[in-house]
Amino acid sequence: MISTKQIGAIILAAGKGSRIGFPKLVLKIHDEFAVDIICRKLMSAGTTQICCIVVSKLNVSQFSSNHQICWTVNPHPENGMISSIFNGVQSLEKSDGYLIVPVDHPMFEFRTVVALVECFSKNPNCAVSPKYKNQSGHPMIIPYEIASKLSEEDYDGGLKQFLVDSNCDMIYVDVDDPGILVNINTKHDLERIKS
């Protein structure tokens, strides 16, 4: 049986945040960094292997989660999410699967992570994604066999297309968690969450 100890978590935080006006790494909700919010939820779900992908390790000491996760620089963030996941996989110990968490999707509940891991433990060759009211969201788990094939190069269509082209089946887990759909891309998105 796969447990959270055999799942590596990769927080994607190397984005420029051009639409919101500042790097996604320093995104805050109610005075708490999104990175710290995500780490707290992952650890509450039992995840211990956590890597955060950044463009620079400068100032990472400001995060309360600093000593509990590894920080990995993506030297080519312009290559998109695929390159960040690649660098995360290289930085973590080999795992059965990798939980992919964009830093601008911090509103999921820890119980969603538990549900995803439980499903993945029964379907270790499949990608697993949460679904709320027929809409899929984040975070998601991809199996090692898929993650190990990634490269630093950009991929047309991104991760979803890579999964399709790799013949990786996707399983959707219904969750009572509207937070999986919350994407903080703009200042308006941020203000809506804070209100």
- Tell me the per-residue pLDDT of 74-91, one tens digit each, with 9 for 90 and over: 999 989 899 999 999 999
DSSP string covering 118-172, please?
HHHHH-TTSEEEEEETTEE-S-EEEEHHHHTT--SS--TTHHHHHHHHTT--EEE
Determine what percent of the chain is predicted with pLDDT higher than 70.
96
**Alpha-helical regions (H) of 9-138:** 34-44, 81-91, 110-122
CA atoms 92, 98, 102, 105: torsion sign: negative
Q: What is the CA radius of gyration of the chain?
A: 15
Question: What confidence score (pLDDT) does residue 138 get?
Answer: 97
Question: What confidence score (pLDDT) does residue 195 get?
Answer: 64
Express each pLDDT in 156-171 by its tens digit.
888 999 999 999 999 9
Q: Which CATH superfamily is domain 4-194 in?
A: Spore Coat Polysaccharide Biosynthesis Protein SpsA; Chain A (3.90.550.10)
